[in-house]
């Protein structure tokens, strides 16, 4: 079995930096009320980004192999959080947003299914503890250039 490693080092207060085998540093911080300085992303937020990037890269790769041409692509995630500590995510909804023309729904649905049920390790790790749901929408290609980033 392969083994991976990471180093997480305190910078100051609740500000940490993490380094993995890929050689890239990630900054993580907490809110001021917990000793942080709000200078970086929160640890739990990284889970949503990891999930979105993991499944998103699967979907794009699968569609590229099928020669599906996208004008743009986004993954939007919404999570429900438990009221009680440790305030874990209880449900995460993943919305895949495809920008393009004449996109085959069957191709998109197959790519999403393969990602969620076969390829995405982040989905696989989360699905036993968090309810994962998904949907998708197809928008005109020009909308990708005009969209304002919204979460």
Q: What is the mean pLDDT of each run of 10 residues along the chain (151 residues)?
A: 94 94 96 92 96 98 97 97 96 98 97 98 97 97 74 55
Instruction: Name the nearest CA neighbour of 140 among 74, 77, 72.
Output: 72
In the sheet that holds 72-81, the strands lie side by side as 72-81, 89-99, 131-139
How high is the pLDDT of residue 143? 87
What's the confidence (pLDDT) of residue 59? Answer: 98
pLDDT at 144: 86
- Strands (E) across 3-56 are located at 6-12, 15-20, 25-28
Query: Hey, how many other C-beta atoms are within 10 angstroms of the C-beta on 49?
Result: 14
């Amino acid at each position: 079995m392969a083994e991976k490693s990471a180093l997480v080092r305190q910078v100051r207060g609740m500000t940490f930096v993490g380094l993995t085998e890929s050689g890239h540093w990630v900054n993580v911080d907490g809110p001021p009320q917990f000793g942080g300085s709000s200078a970086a992303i929160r640890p739990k937020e990284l889970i949503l980004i990891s999930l979105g990037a993991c499944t998103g890269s699967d979907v794009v790769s699968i569609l590229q192999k099928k020669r599906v041409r996208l004008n743009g692509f986004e993954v939007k995630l919404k999570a429900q959080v438990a009221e009680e500590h440790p305030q874990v995510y209880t449900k995460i909804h993943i919305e895949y947003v495809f920008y393009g023309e004449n996109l085959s729904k069957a191709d998109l649905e197959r790519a999403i299914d393969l990602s969620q049920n076969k390829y995405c390790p982040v989905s696989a790790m989360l699905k036993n503890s968090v309810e994962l749901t998904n949907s998708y929408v197809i928008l005109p290609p020009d909308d990708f250039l005009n969209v304002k980033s919204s979460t």
